[in-house]
Structure 1
Amino acid sequence: MTIREATKEDLETLLEFEQGVVLAERPYNKTLIEGEIHYYDLPSLMSSEDAILIVAEQNHEIVASGYALIKQAEKDYTVFKKYAYLGFMYVKPEYRGQGINRSITEKLIEWSKEKGMSEIRLDVYDQNESAVKAYEKVGFEPLLLTMRLKN
């Protein structure tokens, strides 16, 4: 397996992965609109100095993705002013369970630390137990649960 930065030539596959993320999240989020949704500005992530978008390849096939993006802290009372946010973690279904997501996550953490980030965050639906466990194995811990009231 090779992990590398994504290129414009990967965009078609990455757009398919994005819809895979949406499909995976629909059972956890009933507020998503129907149809195609675009969460990410992939070309921006590829060209930003404050981001890295990576893919995992196996046998010349892109099988996974993820990004890290340096963001400003939302609150001025935190001990950090900037942090790295990880997202777009996707592994093609037939390649899951092989440690690929862990490799992607570790590479993004490494990049974030090289950029001087001491705080690294990501979002995961609390009901997505397999994803929560996968991120806990890499060292993440729960911080905040967002709750909502349905009308």
Structure 2
Amino acid sequence: MEEITIRKATLEDLDVLLRFEQGVIEAERPFDSTIKNDPVRYYDIQAMIQASHVQLVVAEINHIVVGCGYARIENARPFLKHALHAYLGFMYVEPLYRGKGVNSKIIETLKQWAITRNITEMSLEVYYGNESAIRAYEKIGFIRHMIAMRMGLSDH
């Protein structure tokens, strides 16, 4: 089995991360009719790389960047038991490398980063109809927690 290495993203990774961002958008489009037409950007990747409250990592196999993800420390809602949580996002693995444990290794690395900052909760969002992603996240310990609902007022 090929060894998966996880490291902090650098500005030298920017081109590949911009390509991965488009991969995320392409994967999410079928689940969300509200995403604008191209060109679309989700993230300020350069700012994420440089931010102290964000840990953006990349996964490498044979020195090739094959995936990424971030944890961002956020304030929790004031009525929750925890004051801060780590929000995970930009979870992407190149199609050729899916099913090899890359995403779970990224999440484990982000989990350890959050723990070192005394964070006790992690969360992420996944589209309701994206059953394969939901199963993958459940497999590594996430539980379904809340369903976000929407109503397009011009859809009626």
Q: Which moved more, 1:39-48 or 1:78-87?
A: 39-48
Measure how far apart 1:36 and its partner are. 2.1
Q: Tell me, what secondary structure is at the counterpart of 1:26?
A: helix
Measure how far apart 1:149 and its partner are. 2.1
What's 1:147 paired with? 149
1:52 aligned onto 2:52: no
> Which amino acid is the alignment partner of residue 31 of structure 2?
Y
> Which of 84, 87, 104 is 1:85 aligned to?
87
8 Å contact from structure 1 (residues 19, 36) kept in 2: no
> Which amino acid is the alignment partner of residue 145 of structure 1?
I
1:17 aligned onto 2:12: no
Measure how far apart 1:59 and its partner are. 1.4
Counterpart-to-counterpart distance in 1, 2:64 and 2:39:
24
> Which amino acid is the alignment partner of residue 52 of structure 1?
Q
Measure how far apart 1:138 and its partner are. 1.1
| Cα shift readout 1:77-104 (whole Å, capped 9, x = no counterpart) | 1111111000000000011111111111
What's 1:71 paired with? 74
Percent of aligned pairs with the same amino acid: 46
Which stretches in structure 2 are left out of the alignment for 5+ residues? Answer: none
Q: Which runs of 4+ in 1 moved over 3 A?
A: none
What is the aligned-residue RMSD (CA, Å)?
A: 0.9
What's 2:121 paired with? 119
Counterpart-to-counterpart distance in 1, 2:40 and 2:108:
27
What's 2:99 paired with? 97
Counterpart-to-counterpart distance in 2, 1:84 and 1:31:
26
Counterpart-to-counterpart distance in 2, 1:101 and 1:36:
26
Counterpart-to-counterpart distance in 1, 2:140 and 2:35:
29
Counterpart-to-counterpart distance in 2, 1:11 and 1:134:
27
Which stretches in structure 1 are left out of the alignment for 5+ residues? Answer: none
TM-score normalised by length of structure 1: 0.96
Counterpart-to-counterpart distance in 1, 2:139 and 2:116:
21
> Which amino acid is the alignment partner of residue 83 of structure 1?
H
Measure how far apart 1:62 and its partner are. 0.4
Aligned residues: 150
| Cα shift readout 1:40-78 (whole Å, capped 9, x = no counterpart) | 1111111111111000111121000000000011x2111
What's 1:30 paired with? 33
